[in-house]
């Protein structure tokens, strides 16, 4: 359990750690849902910026409570979020929600939230990924909602076991998890068949994945036309923690950093071997024209990459851009040394928090609890294949009732006993950026990861001590 000091520290170092220095760590939902939500078309369709929303701020009626809510998305996701607000207000008379669009993550990485907390003019509730909210919670940036949730009849046991660690910091409940995202392996069935591979018996270990990748890689002359697998794109591009988890690495445990974990070194060397085998510059050139996850030019859609690790939301991208594609989703492969992890997943969690100094804690908690109900969660589940965190909601989902094959894989991964979010600590963001730097040196400079990680260990220990 992560310990924190009693006082909220709003120093420049903390702001850097939680905001700009850790910016891309927010992108676990990386090139994900927000890619669609933030398209130029949908932004022009009317995302309500902080400035425009403030002009239309609601004037509360006598006895009415108005909660200020900062949300991070535009486009279709904004439309859905505003519908949720309408449903809440309709069924909770006396409480109104003043919603403000604050990209990219409710003001965390651009410093708006920290500035609001420092000034005392704070929103009552925000929505952002756990990769960003947990470090802030660990440093005391949010209110404890334990009493508010208790009034609603909620306890931590109402939630999936895999997210309960987010909800207990020194016994306080700062984070309200809404839905989870998983990482999995996507396989192009046509490419697999052409290579003589059977997708009904997919790879489960790293060594099996390597064999499949080799067979599915196609080269014409000196140039690749199809890569079987590229370990450092998509779900691993901006988050080393993801693949480190599948190797069994314990980067942070019991309050201590362990960047010299042999499993982390093994993961770095595995990626390094891919670079050596296939030539990192050739791969870089090959990958230079790849589109993002929500782009018709994504390498998996065009057949340039036969397998990739990505999140459950990628199913929606496939449905949009290549609806006739024949593909399979299975749990991501794991290290040969840790077969027990197969079937589990790294989890990204969409979370809600009440910033320090908020005036309407009870009403904010009621809002978050209400929008977690099954009839509201169902549309999001059908679109993004995310999994609600509340246990009572799961069986009410349409995809569950219809026994959707792909969602069954995802749901089982979420409920796997090993699934969790790794490296939950106050310096997760900045440490993640440093790990990407180490990874890239291994790939493009052929550096040995062990001394680089040993050096990083010392620097991150000091960083962690400073935040404590």
> Which residues have C-beta within 8 Å of that of residue 311, sequence separation ≥ 6?
28, 29, 30, 32, 181, 182, 183, 184, 235, 348
How confident is the model over 166-215, as pLDDT tens digits? 999 999 999 999 999 999 999 999 999 999 999 999 999 999 999 999 99
Per-residue model confidence (pLDDT) at position 65? 97
Burial annotation 237-263 (CB, 10 A radius, 16+ → b, else e):
bbbbbbbbbbbbbbbbeeeebbbebeb
CB 326 within 8 A of CB 300: no
Of 28-37, 191-200, 386-395, minimum mean pLDDT range: 28-37
Rounded to an integer, the average pLDDT of 152-176 is 95
Q: Which residue has better confidence, 15 or 102?
A: 102
Instruction: Say whether pLDDT at 316 is over 60.
Output: yes
Task: Express as a percent the part of the chain with pLDDT over 70.
Answer: 87
Residues in the chain: 468
Instruction: Say whether pLDDT at 24 is over 50.
Output: no
Cross-strand pairs, 181: 348
Per-residue model confidence (pLDDT) at position 8? 39
Task: Express as a percent the part of the chain with pLDDT over 90.
Answer: 75
Phi, psi of 33 (to 5 degrees): -55, -40
How confident is the model over 258-289, as pLDDT tens digits? 999 999 999 999 999 999 999 888 888 888 77
Q: Which residue has better confidence, 184 or 16?
A: 184
CA–CA separation, 52 and 50 (whole Å):
6
Phi, psi of 331 (to 5 degrees): -55, 145
Rounded to an integer, the average pLDDT of 73-84 is 91
In the numeric block, the tokens 């509730």 are attached to: 125
Per-residue model confidence (pLDDT) at position 235? 85
CB 373 within 8 A of CB 90: no
Instruction: Say whether pLDDT at 4 is over 70.
Output: no
Q: How confident is the model at residue 59 (pLDDT cuts 50, 70, 90)?
A: low
Instruction: Say whether pLDDT at 58 is over 70.
Output: no
Domains plus CATH for the chain? 65-181+348-415 (3.40.190.10), 183-346+423-466 (3.40.190.10)
Instruction: Say whether pLDDT at 73 is over 80.
Output: yes
How confident is the model over 95-139, as pLDDT tens digits? 999 999 999 999 999 999 999 999 999 999 999 999 899 989 988
Strands (E) located in 204-278: 218-220, 223-226, 252-253, 256-257
Residue 391 CA: distances (Å) to CA of 87, 164, 256? 21, 12, 31
Per-residue model confidence (pLDDT) at position 254? 87
Maximum Cα–Cα distance across the chain: 76
Q: How confident is the model at residue 9 (pLDDT cuts 50, 70, 90)?
A: very low
Q: How confident is the model at residue 290 (pLDDT cuts 50, 70, 90)?
A: confident
Per-residue model confidence (pLDDT) at position 358? 98
Q: What does pTM read for this prediction?
A: 0.86
> Which residues have C-beta within 8 Å of that of residue 139, sequence separation ≥ 6?
4, 5, 8, 9, 14, 18, 426, 467
In the numeric block, the tokens 């069935």 are attached to: 189
* Environment class of 234 (CB within 10 Å of its CB; exposed 0-12, middle 13-18, buried 19+): buried
How confident is the model over 320-339, as pLDDT tens digits? 999 999 999 999 999 999 99
């Amino acid at each position: 359990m992560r310990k924190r000091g009693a006082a909220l520290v709003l120093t420049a170092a903390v702001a850097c750690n939680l905001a700009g220095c850790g910016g891309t760590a927010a992108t676990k939902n990386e090139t994900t849902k927000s890619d669609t939500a933030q398209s130029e078309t949908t932004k022009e369709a009317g995302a309500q910026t902080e400035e425009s929303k403030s002009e239309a701020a609601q004037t509360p009626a006598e006895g009415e409570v108005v909660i200020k809510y900062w949300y991070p998305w535009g486009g279709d996701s904004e439309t859905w979020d505003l519908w949720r607000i309408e449903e809440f207000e309709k069924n909770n008379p006396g409480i109104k929600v003043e919603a403000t669009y604050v990209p990219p993550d409710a003001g965390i990485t651009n410093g708006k939230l920290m500035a609001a907390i420092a000034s005392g003019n704070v929103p009552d509730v925000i929505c952002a990924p756990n990769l960003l909210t947990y470090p802030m919670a660990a440093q005391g940036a949010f209110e404890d909602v334990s009493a508010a949730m208790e009034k609603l009849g909620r306890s931590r046991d109402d939630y999936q076991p895999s997210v309960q660690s987010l909800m207990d910091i020194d016994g306080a409940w700062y984070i309200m998890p809404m839905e989870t995202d998983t990482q999995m392996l996507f396989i192009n069935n046509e490419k697999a068949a052409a290579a003589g591979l059977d997708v009904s018996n997919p790879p489960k270990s790293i060594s099996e994945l390597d064999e499949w990748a080799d067979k599915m890689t196609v080269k014409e002359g000196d140039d690749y036309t199809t890569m079987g697998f590229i370990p450092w794109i998509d779900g691993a591009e901006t988050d080393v923690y993801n693949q480190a988890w599948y190797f069994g690495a314990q980067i942070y445990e019991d309050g201590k950093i362990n960047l010299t974990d042999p499993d982390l070194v093994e993961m770095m060397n595995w990626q390094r071997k891919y670079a050596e085998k296939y030539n990192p510059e050739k791969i870089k050139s090959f990958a230079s024209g790849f589109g993002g996850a929500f782009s018709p030019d994504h390498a998996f859609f065009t057949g340039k990459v036969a397998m990739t690790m990505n999140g459950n939301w990628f199913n929606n991208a496939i449905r949009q851009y290549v609806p006739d594609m024949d593909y399979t989703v299975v749990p991501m492969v794991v290290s040969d040394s840790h077969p027990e992890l197969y079937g589990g997943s790294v989890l990204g969690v969409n979370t809600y928090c009440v910033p320090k100094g908020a005036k309407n804690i009870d009403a904010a908690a009621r809002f978050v609890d209400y929008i977690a109900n099954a009839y509201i969660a169902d549309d999001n589940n059908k679109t993004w294949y995310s999994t609600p965190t509340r246990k009572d909601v799961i069986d009410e989902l349409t995809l569950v009732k219809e026994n959707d094959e792909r969602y069954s894989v995802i749901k089982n991964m979420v409920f796997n006993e090993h699934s969790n979010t790794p490296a939950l600590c106050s310096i997760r963001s900045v440490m993640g950026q440093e790990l990407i730097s180490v990874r890239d040196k291994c790939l493009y400079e052929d550096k040995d990861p062990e001394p680089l990680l040993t050096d990083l260990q010392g620097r991150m220990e000091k960083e962690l001590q400073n935040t404590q």
